[in-house]
Amino acid sequence: MKKSHPFRRVMLASAATVSGIVLLLTLKPSSDPGGAQAAGALPQQTSAAQESAQGGAAAKDGTFTGDTVQTQYGPVQVRVTVAGGKITKAEAVQQPKGGQSDQISGNAIPKLNKEAVTAGLGGTVDAISGASYTSAGYGKSLQSALDKASSGAGTGAAGGGAGGGAAQAATVTGDKVDTQYGPMQVRITVAGGKITKAEAVQQPKGGQSDIITGNAVPKLNQEAVAAGTADIDAISGATYTSAGYKKSLQSALDKVPAAESDKSSGTGAAAPAPAPATTPGSAAGSGAAAGGATSDGGGTYTGSVVQTEYGPVQVRVTLTKGRITSASAVQAPKGGRSDQVSADAIPKLNLEAVTAGDGDIDAVSGASYTSAGYKKSLQSALDQAGG
């Protein structure tokens, strides 16, 4: 029978413990926090973006448009607005459209826009499920926009750098075109020789027209910005609306040269250029109306921002001889279902404001919160006009 040797067992146990400690010390560098950060760094992030995130080369304030990225289903192009070293707004100037692409882009783009703002200057966006090609194109165009922000090379809508294009923008309203189903009137904002925004001031409404225009007008607006001209395709099922839109759009474009020459005095064909979306608005600072009110009892006034359950609403109105001649939403709830609700409700509320001539307008069915916010902001704009 073998004798037990307690001392030997102790020595063996101690040796095993020492070996384990040595092994742990050998493996420690791979779990170092710095190593973990390096492992998690996104390879597509450029050095300029990384410097911005780390407080190095700060991005310039302004609006920057990324390169157009061709995907399997169509082009994607992203524009970002940078203020105070942060992305305050991201939007797709171009996106895949037609057939199933309309549904995919309609779902993915708002989410990608939100991700871009959340991620900031040094971040990237995650692919949206079911929209891998669009997501990849968005990410590439976004990065090129951020590269321009870091270098100060602003392009596209707002021109270069802080406030570059904003001071040169002109907003022009086209002629009203009567179609078989109702009037159509288009307003565009032009900066740096490009259409940066298009919207319908008036459009056919009532019955089936509400469905048709709710589907067609957002697409026509997008086409106008992408094309930069009135040479846009008609929307299937909305032939008359499309034709009226194109005519009014062309008349607005015809007025642009006069608007550019007269904008400094607030006269001529152009409607006043828009004020920053964050400005609650005063008679002296609500857009490009010279000093707010004009001698004929008109002017452009931006109402207060009204926070609703689904997002902010802010309304701008233009008055001529004391009457509302145009109304538009500077801000509206967006993201997810809100995009569809706002796209349906805002044009109707704009038209109601012009038709009613005051803040006593009806709520749009299915958009009670947005309607209530719209009415409050509209009334605050009218209060400024009357004050």
Instruction: Give strand pairing partners of 316.
Output: 302, 328
**What is residue 161's predicted lDDT score, i.e. its pLDDT?**
37
3-state secondary structure of 78: strand
Please report how many Cα atoms fall inside a 13 Å half-sphere around the Cα of residue 33, on the Cβ side.
0
**What is residue 352's predicted lDDT score, i.e. its pLDDT?**
86
**What is residue 25's predicted lDDT score, i.e. its pLDDT?**
52
One-letter amino acid for residue 218 of the chain: P
**What is residue 124's predicted lDDT score, i.e. its pLDDT?**
78
Q: What are phi and psi of 347, to 5 degrees?
A: -60, -35
Residue 348 near residue 364 (C-beta atoms within 8 A) = yes
**What is residue 184's predicted lDDT score, i.e. its pLDDT?**
93
Burial class (CB in 10 A: 0-12, 13-18, 19+), 40: exposed
3-state secondary structure of 79: strand
| CB atoms inside a 10 Å sphere around CB 199 | 23
**DSSP structure class, residue 179:** E
Whole-angstrom Cα distance, residue 270 to residue 263?
7
Task: Please provide the distance, in angstroms rounded to a whole number, between the alpha carbons at the two ends of the chain.
Answer: 110
Please identify every stretch of the chain with a pLDDT value under 50, giving residue numbers as ranges. Answer: 24, 27-57, 154-167, 259-296, 387
3-state secondary structure of 50: helix
- Nearest 5°: the CA angle 365, 367, 369 is 130
Task: Please give the radius of gyration of the chain, using alpha carbons only, rounded to the nearest integer.
Answer: 27
**Nearest by Cα to 246 from 170, 177, 193:** 177
- Helix orientation angle between 239-262 and 208-227, rounded to the nearest 10 degrees: 50
- Entry pTM: 0.33
